[in-house]
Structure 1
Amino acid sequence: MTIVSKTNGASEKTILLVNTGSAKKRFIVQKLKRMGVKLVVLNKEKNWAQPYVDYWILSDNTNHNESLQSIKEFLSNNPKIKIDGVLTFWEDDVLLTSKIVDKFNFIGIPFNTAKKARNKFNFRDFCHKNNLPVPKYKMVRRAEDLKEITENFNFPVVIKPVYGSSSAFVIKVEKQEDLLEMFQYVKSNISTNVESALADGLDILVEEFIDGDEVDIDILLQNGKVKFFSLADNFNKNKGIFFVDSGQAIPSSLPEKCQDDLLETAEIILEKLGIQNGCIHFEAKYSKRGVYPIEVNIRMGGDYVYSYTKSAWGVDLIEYAVKIATGEYFTKIKKPSVPKEYIIGWDLHPNESGMLVELDAPEDIKKNWFVEEIEIYKKIGDPIFVPPEGFEHLGWMTVTGENVLDAQDNLEAALKLVSYKVVKFDSDSSLGKTERKNRFSPAVLNKNLLIRNAKIKAIKGADLTNIRKLRIGLLGNVYANTDNPIELRSSQSMSEVETTLRSKGYEVCTLNLNNFIPTVDKLKKGDIDLVLNLGNRLYNNFELRPHIAALLDSLQIPYTGADSFSLFLAADKIQFKKLLAYHEIPTPDWDYFYDREDQLEEQLKYPLIVKPANSNNSEGITDQSVVINEKRLNEEKEKIIQKMGKAALVEEYIEGDEYEVYILGNNESNLQVLPLHRSIFPPTSKEQWNIYTFDAKWKEGKRENEIIHQLPPKNISKKLESLITEIALDTYTIFKCRDYGKVEIKVDSDNNPYVIELNPSPWLCSLEWGGIVKAAQLIGIDYGMLLEQIIMMAVERYRRNKR
C-alpha cells in the first residue's frame, strides 16, 4: 500500500472517492473540485485524475481487506485529515464502498444491504421473499441446469451476468432450442476484460423476459425519505438478441398513473432493502401486469444521466450526493410540473465491430442551441467492439427541445452534425468455411476468434525452407518532398527493405500509412501473408504507433515485431519506468509530472533530465533538458506540460557512456544479442551534457562529430559487457518484445548500468554510425539475411501459436 499526498487549497469538505473510474468520469472529478471538495482517492494507481486529487491512497481495490487496511493506515498517518464522507461513481466498487461505510461509520449503504442490490440473483430472491413482482429466475452454472428452464419457464428468456453492468452479455433467447448455444456463448466469453464490473463474480442468471416500457428512476434518498426523483424513458434496447443502451428521454412520457406506480414500487423496494441514504439509479419495466423491478444501482447513473437531470430539472446529482454522504441536511426538492427542458440522451453505436478510421465531431457543435452535451470516448485508430464481440460505444450526446417531439427532431439534426466511419472486422475470413447457423454460433464465440484467420493458418503451415513464396506487405511511412530527418529515415527504411526483399525473390506490396484508408482497404483484401511492420506514426502522431499493430491484429494479419501492448509500454516512459521498478531492473531514480503543480520527490538529486513522457527519437530533448535547480526544472515542466501538451518524466542525470543493445529472437532457443554499440560523449560542460539531444541524433554538426562510436566497444571488461547484455535481455523479455528490438543503457563512472529506453521496433536500415544492420554485419549476417531471419522468426512464432 502506498499513500501519496499533494498540496492543495483548504476546503470545507473532504471526500474519500473510491476509484476514479475511467477517463469517462472526468466530469465528476472536475465538478467535485469546482465545489471546493478536497479529494482523497482510493485507487490502484495515479492516473488521469492527478491534477484534481489532493491525496492518493494507492491500493488494489479488488482486494477489499488490503483497501480497508490502507485507509486505516492513511487516517493513522494523517491525523489532521478528517474525511467527511465516502462516495463511488463506479459500479465495480459499490461493494467495497459499502464495506468502508461499515468499517469507518460513514453515511451510506451497509454491506449486507449492498450485496442484495449488487447481485442480481440475490435481488430477485429478495423481491420474491418480500412478495414483490419478479419473473421466474434461476442461477445457471452448468448446461445441466438449463433443463429446468426449458421445462418450466415461458420463452423468451433473458440470460445475464449476476454482477453485470451496461447491458454487457445480456441476451434474449426466443426459442428453447437456442438456449444452450446462447448460454455457452455467455459462459465462454464473460470476462472482466470486456466488463470490469464482473470482477465481483462471473455467475449467470436466467429469467423470463418481461415485455414492457423500460424506465430509469434517479432518486436522492436522505434519512429514508425520497428528496428528489426523476423518471426517464429508455428507447428500445433490443439489437437482435442483445440489449444495447440506445438512448433515454426525460421527462417520461408514460401516463401519470404509470409513473406513480413506478415510483411507489421503487420506494417500497428501497424501504424493504433498508437503504436510507444514497443517490440511486433504479431500473424497472412497466408491463401489462404492472411494475417489475430490474435492478437497483446504488450509485449515480452513468453517461448522460447527470447531464440530462441537471438540464431538465436544475438538480445537480453530484452536489446532492456529496450532501448525502457528508450528512448535510436538505429539504425535499420541489420539482415543477413542467421541466426546464425536454432532453434526449443518445448513445453513438457503430453497426459492426471495427476500427474507427474517420471521425468528424466539430468542436463548436454546442453552438447549435439544441446540443446540450457531447462526449466522444474513442479516437481514430481505436477498435470498437459491439455485440457479439464486445459491448462498447463511441460516446453519447444530449439534445434539448421545447417538447418531446421537438427534441426528437433536434436529435435527428444533431446526429447529422457528427459523422464517423468504422472499418468492419471481417470475422468470417477463411473461418467462413465453418458452417454456422447464425452470426452468434460457436464459430465466433469470442473476441479472440476475430484475431485469428486463414492467413495465420497459412503462416503456421509455411515451409521455412521455402519462405520466399510468402507475399510480404511492407507497412510503414513514406514521405515525398521532405527535409525532416525522421521522415527521411522512415522513407529510407521502406525503400531499402523493399529493394532487398525483391532482390531475394519476394513478392512485396508497399503499404503507406500516410495514405491510411487506401492502405486499410489493401490490407482487408486478404492477399498478404505476412506484414513487415515498419510503421512509425499514424496520422502523423507517434503516440498512435501501438495502434498500427492493433490494426493488424484486428484485421487478423500476421506481422513482424512487437504487438500493441509492448509498443505502448515502451512508448509511455512512465509506465515503462514503473514496470522496470517492479522487476527491479536498474534505471535512474525518477518521478513524473502530469501537472505544473506536482512536486518533485525529495530524494531525487540534481542534476536531473526532464523528458516528454511519450515521444521518441529524442524529440523535445535539448541540452536545456538537463536541469540543476528548481527554477530550471519548472521551466522544463512548463515547456513539456503546457507547450507540448504531454506529461513529463524526470530522472537523475547519469554521466557516462551510452550503449545500444540489439537483440534478435523470441525464446531461449533463438535469442541472440548482437555486438554492443557504445557512444562516448565529449567532456560535460554547462552548455553540453552527455546525452543524445534531438540535434545530436538528427542534425549534422560539431556535436555529432565529437561523439565517439565504438562497434563493438573497446577496452571494457567482460564483466561489464555481460552485465549490460543480461540487463538488456531481461528488459527485452519482460516487455515481451518479438523478433527484434533495441535496449538503451547508460553506464556511470562506477560501471553501474541503467536502462534508459526500449525500442521494440528499431530502424531496419543502414545507419552511418551504428544500428541493427551494422551490428548484425559484425557477426556475418548481411542485410538480406537479417530481414529473412526476422521473417522466419515471426513465422516460427505463429507456428508455435505465440502471437
Structure 2
Amino acid sequence: MVRRLRRRGIFLSIFFYPYSAKGRLRHLGFFIFGMIDHQKRKAKKESSLTGKTLLVVHTGGPKKRFTLQRLKKLGVTLVMLNKEKNWAENYVDHWILADTNNHSECLNAIKSFFKINRDVVVDGALTFWEESVLLTSKIIDRFNFIGIPYSVSKNIRNKYLFRETCATYGLPVPRHQLIQSEAALSALGEDMPFPLVLKPIYGSSSAFVVKVENKEELMESYRYAKSQFYTHEDCHEWEDLSMMVEEYIDGDEVDMDILVQNGKIKFYSISDNYQTREPFFVETGQAIPSSLPEQDQRALIEMAEETLEKVGVQNGCIHFEAKSTKRGPVPIEVNLRMGGDEVYSFVKGAWGVDLIEYAAKVACGIYSKVEKPAVPKKYIVGEYFLADNSGVLSELDIPDTIEKQQYVEEFHFYKEIGDPIFIPPDGYDYLGWLTVSGENSIDAEDNMESIRKRVSYKVAKFASDSSIGKTLRGTRFSSAVLKKNLIVKASKQERFRRIALKNQRGLRVGILGNGADSNHAPEEQEIAFVASEAQKTLQKIGYATSFFDLNDPEKAFHDIKASSVDLIFNLAERVHGSGALEPQAAAMLDILQIPYTGSDSFSLALCMDKIRMKKILSYHSIPTPKWDYVYDLDDDVDKEMEFPLIVKPANSDNSIGITKDSVVTSAHQLKKQIRFILEELKNPVLIEEFIAGDEYDVSILGNDRDDLRVLPLSRYVYHMPEGGWSVCSYEMKWENHPVYNYKHITIQRPVKNISKRLEALITEISLDTYRILGCRDYGRVELRVDKDGNPFVIEINPNPCLNPDSSTVLTAKVMGMEYGDVLEEIIRVAIRRYNREKA
C-alpha cells in the first residue's frame, strides 16, 4: 500500500506532515478509504451509459417509443438509422436517413455520417426491430462494433437455416423441409407426418404461420400465403419469401429472455406462454416467472445456452422461444434482439432487471454483472385483447379507474371505435394488452380476471346499411359517441356504391392530374395533356367534372376535401414534380376516403420499384429475363448473365434513364452505365439479359376473374438500322433522334401472324402478373418474346397513359370502343369494385 501511495505522491504528504505518529496513521486511514471510495465511483462511472452514443437501427412503430425514452433517461446520445424522420424525432440526437431495406445504401450513409460528423463517436449499435437484425449485423461487421456477426445472424434469422444449423451441431430440432413450390408439397413423404406447421422462413409475429392437418389444408394454406404475402406491412423487409414445413411440436411453450456477454449468460428469465389460438398460433397471454418444474426450467436454459454457444452468439439481448416436451426441450425460434410488447416490463417487474439498459451496455462493451434476486419481486400475468372475428370495433367501454389499480402494471388499448380489425387469415390485429401483478401466481391471475371483466368491447362483422364504424369515444376511457363527420364521409362512399350503372353519368367526377406548360419537359406536357383530354371528353358526354392539380398537393388536398365530387379519376403521375411520389396520390385519396379509379398506393409503389416487382414475379414463377440489381458501385453483378445486357434505373418511368447506350456488350460498358445511373440519376440499377425480339403490350380492364377484360394485343416489330438496338429509349419517345425513332418500328393492332398458343400464353401470363401485383381497374403489361417464342414480362404499368393515341386506347378502338367509352368503362369497373367491397 505504501509503495502504491508513494507512486501517487501521497506518501510524503502524509508521513512528513507535522502530525504525531498516531495522527499520521489516522490520516493514512482517511486517505485509504478515500481512495477506495474514489475507485468505486470511478467503476460506477465506467459502467454507466451516461455520455455513451448508440447507433439504433430502425425506429420501429410508435409502440417502440418506450425503448428510446428509456435510453434517453440513461443519458445515451442516440444516432438513428431510419428511412425517414418520424414520431421519434424528440428522442433522436442525430439522424442517418437511408432505406433500411437497402443495406448497401445504409452502410454508405453511416460511413458518410462518420466522415462528416467526426466529433460524434459511436460506442455501439443495436436494434429493437426484428426486420433490421440482419442489417444491424452487417453494420457491426463493417464498423467493428460489439454484437452478433452477419455470418451468425443469417443462420438464425432464416428459420430454415436455423433448423439446419441446429441439426449440424446435434441440437434438438423438429423434422423440417424447405418449400419453394407446390411440387415440393406434393412430394412430402411419410417422414413428415401430419399435423405440420407451415411458415415463412422470414417474418415475425406469427404472420402466415399455420397448423395444417392434411395435404389439402397444406396446399390451400400455401396458395393463400403465396397470394397474400405482399399485403403484409413488413413483407418488403423480408429477405426471402420462401416457406418451410416442420413437425408440429406439442408441449409447454416458453419465452427465455437472455443477456449474454463474451459468450457467458449473465442473466436469464423464463416466462410461460398461454395456449395459442390454433391453427394460426395467435398469442393469447403469458406469465412470469415460469410455473414449470425446476428440472424442466434447468433443462430449458441448458439447451438455450448450448444452442447459443454452438451457433455462435457471443453478445446480445436474446429472446429465445422454445417448448418443453416429453422428449426434452426444443428450440422454436431465436430473436436476436429484445423481445417486444410486454417483455421489457415483465422482466423489469419480476426481476428488477432492465433489459434496455443491459442490451445497450453489452452493445457498448460495458462489462456487466447482473444481480438476479433469488425470488421474484412480483408475479405477473399478461393477456392480449383479441377479436373473435374480423370486422369493425363498434363498442368499447374502459373504466377510467383501471390504470389506477395498484396491481395493474401496464394497460394498452390501441384501437378506437370505427377501426377495422382483421384476424387470421384476413390479418394479424390485436386490440391491445394488459399486464397485472400479484404476490403469487394465483393472486396475479385473480387480479387479471377482475380487470378483464371490466373491459368490454365488441367487434361487429361488416354489414351494409349500418352505422358501424361511424362512432368515436369522447375520451379513451368513455363509451362511444356518434361522430358526424365520419357519417358524412361514409355517406359519400355509400352513395357512390349504390349508384346504378345506368345513372353513372350523374356522378360528379374529379380529375386528379398534373398541369404543365411549354416550359416543362415533353413527358410532363404529355401527362398534363392526358388530364386535359380526359376532362374535356367526360364533360362532353355528360359528366360534371373538376380538375385538381397535384403539382400543388396541399391545395389539391384541401380542394378535394371541400369538394362535392363522388369519384376521383386518378391520372396523377407526379407529386411536387417527382414521379417517385406518384403512389402518394392514391394514398392521399385513401386518407380522404374518396372513391377513385385505378390501383392503390401499395400496388403503384410495388410496380414502380422494379427490383421488388421482379422478386415477387420470380417467386410466383412468372417468366422474366435473367436479372440482377445494384445499389452500390461495389456490388457484384451475377457473372452467369450473358451479354448483351440492358441497364436501366430501377425506379423510374417514361423511359427516363433508358438511352441508346443502355444496351451493353462488355464489362466496361456495363460499369459505365451502372455508374451513370447511380451517380447521375441517383437511382438503383436493374440489369437484365437483353431480349432482342418483338415487344407486346397487353392492356387489361377490370378486377375479378368474371370482370377482367384483356384488350387486343399490341405488337412492336423493330427494324433498327445497323448499330441500333431494339429498345424504346428516351430519345425515341421524346426526341427526334435519327436512329431511335418510331419510323423503325412496325406496330400491329391487332397482332398478325402469331400462333394461338403464343397469344394465349402471353394473355395468361399478363393476367397472372396483373393479379399478383394487385392492380385495379386497368393496367398494361409489357412483354418481349425471344427468338424461340418464349415470352418474358418486362414490366407492368398500373397507371398507363390514357391519351387518345395511347396503346391502351388504340387497342380498345380495335374492339369498337371510342376514347370516351374507355374512360367510362374504367369508371364502371371502379363502381363494381366498390360495390363488391361493400358486400
Normalising by structure 2, report the TM-score: 0.54
Q: Does 1:282 align with 2:320?
A: yes
2:99 equivalent in structure 1: 60
Q: What corresponds to 2:196 in structure 1?
A: 157
- 2:350 aligns with 312
Q: Which residue of 2 aligns with 1:271?
A: 309
- How far residue 727 of structure 1 moved from its aligned partner, in angstroms, is 9.4
Give the secondary structure class of the aligned counterpart of 1:190: helix
The residue aligned with 1:398 is 435
Give the aligned CA root-mean-square deviation in angstroms.
Answer: 4.4
Matched with 1:735 is 585
Amino acid of the residue matched to residue 251 of structure 1? Answer: P
List per-residue Cα deviations over 1:207-258 (Å, max 9, x = no partner): 010110011100001111101000000100133x211111110000000110
Partner of 1:797: 830
Q: How far did residue 270 of structure 1 move?
A: 0.5
The 8 Å contact of residues 163 and 200 in structure 1, kept in 2 or not, is answered as yes
Q: Pairwise mapping of residues 241-260 of structure 1 onto structure 2 (< 5 A)?
A: 241-260=279-298
CA distance in 1, matches of 2:498, 2:293: 55
Partner of 1:485: none
Map Cα deviations across residues 118-177 of structure 1 (whole Å, 9 max, x no partner). 000000000111111111100011111113424321211100111121111111112234
Return the alpha-carbon distance in structure 2 between the equivalents of residues 145 and 354 of structure 1: 36
Letter in 1 for 2:404: K
> Of 356, 367, 381, which aligns to 2:393?
356
Distance change >3 Å, CA 40–CA 237, structure 1 → 2: same
**Structure 2 Cα separation of the partners of residues 732 and 163 of structure 1:** 30
Aligned length, in residue pairs = 507
3-state SS in 2 of match to 1:180:
helix
Max radius of gyration: which structure?
2
1:355–1:424 CA contact under 8 A, matched in 2: yes
Matched, 1:301 2:169: no
8 Å CA contact 1:150–1:176 kept in 2: the answer is: no
Contact 1:15-1:85 within 8 A present in 2 as well:
yes
Q: Percent identity over the alignment?
A: 48
For the 8 Å contact 1:141–1:203, the answer to whether it is kept is: yes
Distance 1:88 1:360 in 2: 36
Cα deviations by residue, 1:475-504 (Å, 9 ceiling, x for unpaired): 9xxxxxxxxxxxxxxxxxxxxxxxxxxxxx
Would the alpha carbon gap of residues 20 and 557 (structure 1) be closer, same or farther in structure 2, given more than 3 Å must change? farther
Shift of 1:21: 0.2
Tell me which amino acid in the other structure corresponds to 2:538: N
> Equivalent residues in 2 for 1:433-452 (5 A)?
none
Residue 104 (structure 1) aligns with: 143
Do structure 1's residue 87 and structure 2's residue 126 form an aligned pair? Answer: yes
What is the CA deviation profile of residues 401-435 of structure 1, one whole-angstrom value per residue up to 9, with x for unaligned ones? Answer: 11111111111111122222212236xx9xxxxxx
Tell me, what secondary structure is at the counterpart of 1:122?
A: helix
Map of 1:375 onto structure 2: 412
Residue type of the alignment partner of 1:423: A
Cα distance, 1:729–1:243 mapped onto 2, change above 3 Å: closer
CA distance in 2 between partners of 1:158 and 1:102 (Å): 34
Q: Secondary structure at the match of 1:670?
A: helix
Q: Distance in 2 between matches of 1:256 and 1:228?
A: 17
Q: Would you say the 8 A contact 2:198–2:246 is kept in 1?
A: yes
Between stretches 130-139 and 667-676, larger displacement belongs to: 667-676
Report how far residue 513 of structure 1 moved: 8.6
- Counterpart CA distance in 1 for 2:195 and 2:177 is 14
Q: Which position in structure 2 is the counterpart of 1:26?
A: 65
Provide the secondary structure at the position in 1 that maps to 2:318: strand
Alignment of 1:175 onto 2:208: no
Partner in structure 2 of residue 134 of structure 1: 173
Deviation at 1:321, TM superposition (A): 0.7
Secondary structure of 2:344's match?
helix
Partner secondary structure for residue 87 of structure 2: coil
Quick check: 2:470–2:487 contact (8 Å CA) kept in 1? no
In 2 relative to 1, CA 320–795 (structure 1 residues): closer, same or farther, beyond 3 Å?
Answer: same
Distance 2:156 2:357 in 1: 24
Cα deviation digits, residues 724-749 of structure 1 (max 9, x gap): x99999999972456799xxxxxxxx
Q: What is the 5 A alignment of 1:413-562? A: 413-425=450-462, 540=483, 548=490
- Residues 39 and 55, structure 1, Cα contact 8 Å, conserved in 2: yes
Identify unmatched segments of 5+ residues in structure 2. Answer: 1-48, 474-479, 502-511, 522-530, 549-554, 563-573, 598-822
Cα gap change, 1:117/1:21 in structure 2, threshold over 3 Å: closer, same or farther? Answer: same
Question: Which of 135, 160, 163 in structure 2 is aligned with 1:124?
Answer: 163
Q: What amino acid is aligned across from residue 388 of structure 2 in structure 1? A: N
1:384 aligned residue: 421
State the secondary structure of the residue aligned to 1:86. strand
Counterpart AA for 1:670: L
Matches of 1:664 and 1:273 in 2, distance apart?
Answer: 63
Counterpart amino acid of residue 797 in structure 1: A
- Structure 2 CA distance for aligned equivalents of residues 174 and 675 of structure 1: 56
Do the aligned partners of 1:664 and 1:739 also contact (CA within 8 Å) in 2?
no
Distance 1:300 1:285, change over 3 A: same
Could you tell me which residue of structure 2 aligns to residue 499 of structure 1?
none
Residue in 2 that maps onto 1:47: 86
Query: Who is 1:532 aligned against?
Result: none
Q: Evaluate the alpha carbon distance shift between residue 126 and residue 793 of structure 1 in structure 2; reply closer, same or farther with a 3 A threshold.
A: closer
Secondary structure of 1:379's counterpart equals coil
Does the alignment pair 1:75 with 2:108?
no
CA distance in 2, matches of 1:254, 1:373: 25
- Map Cα deviations across residues 57-109 of structure 1 (whole Å, 9 max, x no partner): 11100000000101111111111011111110000100000000000011110
1:346 aligns with 2:346: no
Instruction: Confirm or deny: 8 A CA contact 1:355 1:551 kept in the other structure.
Output: no
CA contact (8 A) 2:206 2:281 kept: yes
Query: 1:108 and 1:135 mapped to 2: Cα distance?
Result: 28
Counterparts of 1:171 and 1:320, CA distance in 2 = 35
Cα gap change, 1:178/1:728 in structure 2, threshold over 3 Å: closer, same or farther?
Answer: closer
Shift of the alpha carbon at 1:516? 8.1
Query: Residue 301 of structure 1: CA displacement?
Result: 0.4
8 Å contact 1:92–1:197 — kept in the other structure?
no
Aligned-residue offset at 1:196: 4.3
3-state SS, counterpart of residue 300 of structure 1: coil
Matches within 5 A, 1:651-730: 670=538
> Contact between 2:229 and 2:235, CA under 8 Å: does it hold in 1?
no
- One-letter code aligned to 1:322: A
**Matches of 1:546 and 1:118, distance apart in 2:** 47
Where does structure 1 lack aligned partners over 5 or more consecutive residues?
A: 1-9, 430-472, 476-510, 518-536, 561-569, 571-575, 587-662, 678-690, 699-724, 742-789
Q: Which amino acid aligns with 2:831?
A: Y
In the alignment, residue 64 of structure 1 is paired with which amino acid?
Answer: H
Q: Which of the numbers 185, 203, 216 marks the counterpart of 2:224?
A: 185
Distance 1:403 1:144, change over 3 A: same
Alpha-carbon distance change, 197 to 541 in structure 1, aligned in 2, over 3 angstroms: farther
TM-aligned CA distance change 1:178 to 1:74, over 3 Å: same
Q: Is the 8 A contact 2:285 2:383 kept in 1?
A: yes
Question: Is the CA contact 2:575–2:582 (under 8 Å) kept in the aligned structure 1?
Answer: no
**Native 8 Å contact 1:343 1:407 kept in 2:** yes
Partner of 1:409: 446
1:166 corresponds to which residue?
205
What CA distance in whole angstroms lies between the structure 2 residues aligned with 1:344 and 1:21?
25
1:33 and 1:390 map into 2 onto residues whose CA distance is 34
1:665–1:739 CA contact under 8 A, matched in 2: no
TM-score (structure 1 length as normaliser): 0.57
